[in-house]
């Protein structure tokens, strides 16, 4: 049984869109001139963010996805990262931008970056929509971060709680009401 909860809006759809635009200007400056960029989304939480990012990015780009396990259906990181779905294509010699929804303990992003680096990309950068720096257990920071947030459980804009609420246009905080 799920505990009853409400969702309090924390970051509006408008604020997210403005930040995505800003981030894309910086990503564009970093990758301008390349025709070998591949944007790798970490499923499932990054699917909305990556859709907005690539549409805002005026560069030739390929998209691929990778799924790593971390939270399951709960609210705590398992700390043990498993690859549930690997990339379809090779990334050797490519410019890679890894897109994560939230960097929490840091286990997922550091594991994925380590794995992808071992495949010999030419350049490797990462971006996270949200960062919870106070939760970090592995010293890693994405090259770009949308918003830093406190230690709160959030949903929306692709991010779930027990697979629900990914379809919200804003990012909200889960508040239990029992
Ligand atoms: P990490 O390995 O602890 O950094 O976990 C990162 C992953 O945990 C993210 O990609 C999310 O899938 C999940 N996660 C972390 N915080 C939250 C949250 O507040 N809401 C939903 N999922 C979260």
Q: Is 8 a catalytic residue?
A: no
pTM: 0.95
Query: Please, what are the domains in the chain?
Result: 13-150 (3.40.50.2020)
139 alpha-carbon distance from chain centroid:
17
103 touches ligand 1 (CB under 6 Å): yes
Four-residue CA torsion sign, 139, 142, 148, 150? negative
> What digits encode the pLDDT tens for the residues 125-168?
999 999 999 999 999 999 999 999 999 999 999 999 999 999 99
Contact yes or no for 90/63 (Cβ under 8 A): no
Alpha helix locations (H) across 12-164?
Answer: 13-31, 47-56, 107-117
| 45: Cβ contacts below 8 Å, ≥ 6 apart | 100, 101, 102, 158, 159, 160, 166
> What digits encode the pLDDT tens for the residues 78-135?
678 999 999 999 999 999 999 999 999 999 999 999 999 999 999 999 999 999 999 9
68 touches ligand 1 (CB under 6 Å): no
């Amino acid at each position: 049984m799920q505990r009853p909860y409400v969702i309090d809006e924390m970051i509006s759809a408008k604020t997210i869109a403005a930040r995505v635009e800003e981030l894309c200007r910086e990503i564009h400056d970093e990758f301008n001139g390349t025709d070998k960029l591949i944007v790798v989304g970490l499923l499932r939480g990054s699917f909305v963010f990556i859709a907005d990012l690539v549409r805002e990015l005026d560069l030739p780009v390929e998209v691929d996805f990778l799924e790593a396990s971390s939270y399951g259906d709960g609210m705590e990181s398992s700390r043990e990262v498993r690859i549930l779905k690997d990339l379809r294509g090779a990334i050797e010699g490519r410019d890679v931008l890894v897109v994560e929804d939230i960097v929490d303990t840091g286990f997922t992003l550091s594991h994925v970056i380590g794995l992808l680096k071992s495949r010999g990309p030419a350049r490797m950068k990462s971006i996270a929509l949200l960062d919870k720096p106070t939760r970090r257990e592995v010293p890693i920071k994405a090259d770009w971060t949308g918003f830093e947030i406190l230690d709160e459980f959030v949903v929306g804009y692709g991010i779930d709680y027990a697979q629900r609420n990914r379809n919200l246009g804003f990012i909200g905080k889960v508040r239990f009401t029992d």
